[in-house]
Amino acid sequence: MKLYLKGPKCDSSRCPMESRPFPPGEHGRDRTRQGSEYSAQLREKQKARRIYGVLEKQFRNIYEEANRQSGITGENLLRMLELRLDNVVFRAGWASSRSQARQFVRHRHVLVNGKRVDIPSMRVKKGDLVSLGERAEQLIVVQHNRDILDRQLPGWLEREGNAVRVLNPPLREQIDVQVREQLIVELYSK
């Protein structure tokens, strides 16, 4: 499945999934049999981790925090992943991929409520205003992404000039990531 980790490259004919639609490795073409229930659960977890660019320990900690909250654990997990600062920068359309968004945050181009932030895993809250710094606004990459990408702003974000404001934590219907979060919950609850 295409995870669109390389930004717009996955929309073109240069996408690695187009040239090699089988798993990597010497025996990639041979692995066509159906896996077990455990392998399906593990694949979903790995897919979510790779989409959001989160390490295993971080993902486990986010899951445990989502499990402690009231409500459906799987939806809480996706909501917490969506509210990471690097994901908000990606959703705002300033970066073509989440890894590029993470780099913008790391290089101190992003402001949250007027303060410069350099931690991509920071979780934004309801009412936070996320914007780019003055110099970052003039970066060719940012201007190119704004012009080329036709990404719609999700319903839980609102554009205010050159900034975005977090209106509410996203609902499951507003998260367009194709992950079956129930399988992740089943995997971790063993």
- Whether 20 is covered by a domain: the verdict is no
Q: What is the mean pLDDT of residues 67-96?
A: 94
d(CA 63, CA 115): 28
Q: Please indicate, yes or no, whether residues 90 and 78 belong to a single structural domain of this protein.
A: no
Indicate which CATH number applies to the domain containing 156: 3.10.290.10
Q: Please indicate, yes or no, whether residues 73 and 90 belong to a single structural domain of this protein.
A: no
Q: How many domains in the chain?
A: 2
Task: Give the pLDDT score at 2.
Answer: 62
- Whether 31 is covered by a domain: the verdict is no
Query: Residues 115, 129: contact at Cβ < 8 Å?
Result: no
Residue 34's pLDDT band, with cuts at 50, 70 and 90, is confident
Whether 151 has a pLDDT exceeding 70, the answer reads: yes
Q: Please indicate, yes or no, whether residues 114 and 160 belong to a single structural domain of this protein.
A: yes
Cα angle: 53, vertex 57, 97; to 5 degrees: 5
Indicate which CATH number applies to the domain containing 78: 1.10.1050.10
Residue 163's pLDDT band, with cuts at 50, 70 and 90, is very high
Q: Please indicate, yes or no, whether residues 97 and 56 belong to a single structural domain of this protein.
A: no
Q: Please indicate, yes or no, whether residues 161 and 137 belong to a single structural domain of this protein.
A: yes
Residue 112's pLDDT band, with cuts at 50, 70 and 90, is very high
Query: What pTM did the predictor assign?
Result: 0.83
Q: Please indicate, yes or no, whether residues 73 and 93 belong to a single structural domain of this protein.
A: no
Q: Please indicate, yes or no, whether residues 62 and 100 belong to a single structural domain of this protein.
A: no
Residue-by-residue DSSP string for 38-84: HHHHHHHHHHHHHHHT--HHHHHHHHHHHHHSSS-HHHHHHHHHHTB
- 107-110: Cβ within 8 A, 24+ apart: 108/133, 109/133, 109/135, 109/136, 109/139, 110/85, 110/136
- Whether 107 is covered by a domain: the verdict is yes
Amino acid sitting at position 103: Q
Q: What is the mean pLDDT of residues 163-187?
A: 93
Task: Give the pLDDT score at 99.
Answer: 93
d(CA 78, CA 112): 21
User: Where in the sequence is the domain holding 184, given as residue range(s)?
Assistant: 36-83+178-190
